[in-house]
Structure formats: structure tokens, C-alpha cells
Amino acid sequence: MKHEAKNFNHLLGKLAGFSEKMLTAHFTLYAGYAKKLNEIEEKLAKADKTLANYSFGEFSELKRREAVAFNGTYLHELYFEAMNSKKTEASGALKKAIDESFGNWDEMVKDMKATASSTPGWVLLTYSKVDKKLHTYIMFEHHIGLPAHQEIILALDCWEHAFMIDYGIGKADYLTAYFAAVDWSIVSKRFEHAMKNQMV
């Protein structure tokens, strides 16, 4: 299939703490990943599999970067799609899971912020099919670090491009703005869906 970057221009001027300049630059980077994903998939379809090699080979190099472009595309969608100027509340089920997994809501936010301080990449809030609880994990680059059996319900972009235009090195202020922009109704829908997927 051909991957197409979605249009998130409806967010411009709507998110407190996210300038149009920063969001527009971010949308451009996101679209670049979708373009590269198409390019990688097209080249993989034609690459000679008999020349695959751990040290170097066209198929092997493309295969090694495939998940970068894939997650570079779809993690950004998880990020932008769960942002909104509307102040929405998490569902009762999600709030209960947060309490059971982290102790309380504030501890979940504290955990995500501490995890954000630990990586230049992504912070993911996941539903684990292993212990049926919520967890935070770090994803380096776009593709390294996600444990098995996780359903992503929130993806927080902590790459410098996500905040430096507006905040410089003030990552903590970016995180404050981010949590004010999260659309918890979307996260609740993802959680509801994630719970239906169990280990088989």
C-alpha cells in the first residue's frame, strides 16, 4: 500500500504552547518519513534477497531501516491524533487502570515526564498484554526499545525537533504544554480497543 501523510493543519493555532512554526516543521518531518517508507518498500520489493548480508547488502540495509520510516510515520500519527485544544477527560476504565498501574494520575504523569527526561526519542504509554497493566517505555530513534506484547495508547515525541523551536532546551516546559494538549478521549478509545487484544 502507499503510505500517505495525514493533514494535521487543523491543529495550527489551536494548541497552547505549540507555535505554527514548530508544528509546521514537525508536519514536514513526519511527511518525510511517509515518503521514505514508500521508497523503502518499493526498493525492498525489487532488491536481490540472495545478496542479503549482515555486514552490507542492499536488501539488508533497507530491511534494517524499514521500521525507522514505518514508526517515524505511524508514531507521529499516534502523537498528533491525540492532541487537541479541547479539554477531555479519560474514561473511567482508563482512570482505573492508571490508578492500578501507577498509584494515581499524578504518578503516571510523573513517570512519563521522568521517562521523557531519560531519552532523546519517544516515550510510549502502553497496555501490556503480559500483566494487563499500563507501562511507560522508551523508544530510541523510532524503532528500538519497545518490549513485546504492548499496545501503544499514547506516543510522546521527545525528539528535539518536537520542542526546540519554541522551548530551546526547556524540555520540562514542553512537557507541561504537551500534557495540556493531550486528548484523553482518544487515549481512552485506544485503551478500550487495546484491552480486547490479549495474548494467544
Locate 180 and state its grid cell: 495540556
CB neighbourhood size of 148 (10 A):
8
E strands, the chain, are: 122-128, 134-139, 150-157
Span interacting with Fe ion, options 43-51, 142-150, 153-161, 180-188, rule CB under 5 A = 153-161
> Applying CB under 5 A, does 111 fall inside the site for Fe ion?
no
Size of the site for Fe ion (CB under 5 A): 3
Least CB distance to Fe ion at residue 52 (A): 30
Least CB distance to Fe ion at residue 162 (A): 5
With respect to Fe ion, which residue has the nearer C-beta, 124 or 162? 162
With respect to Fe ion, which residue has the nearer C-beta, 61 or 173? 173
SS3 42: helix
CB 188 within 8 A of CB 93: yes
Between CA 35 and CA 3 the distance in angstroms is: 7
Least CB distance to Fe ion at residue 47 (A): 28
CB 160 within 8 A of CB 61: no
Least CB distance to Fe ion at residue 72 (A): 8
> Applying CB under 5 A, does 121 fall inside the site for Fe ion?
no
- The widest CA-to-CA distance across the chain, in whole angstroms, is 54
Between CA 80 and CA 72 the distance in angstroms is: 12
Least CB distance to Fe ion at residue 163 (A): 10
Closest residue to Fe ion: CB criterion:
157
With respect to Fe ion, which residue has the nearer C-beta, 59 or 159? 159
**Region 3-42 residues binding Fe ion, contact defined as CB under 5 A:** none
With respect to Fe ion, which residue has the nearer C-beta, 69 or 162? 162
Locate 144 and state its grid cell: 528500538
Span interacting with Fe ion, options 58-66, 127-135, 150-158, 183-191, rule CB under 5 A = 150-158
Backbone angles phi, psi at 198, to 5 degrees: -115, 165
Locate 129 and state its grid cell: 498484554
> Applying CB under 5 A, does 157 fall inside the site for Fe ion?
yes
Binding site for Fe ion (CB under 5 A): 157, 159, 162
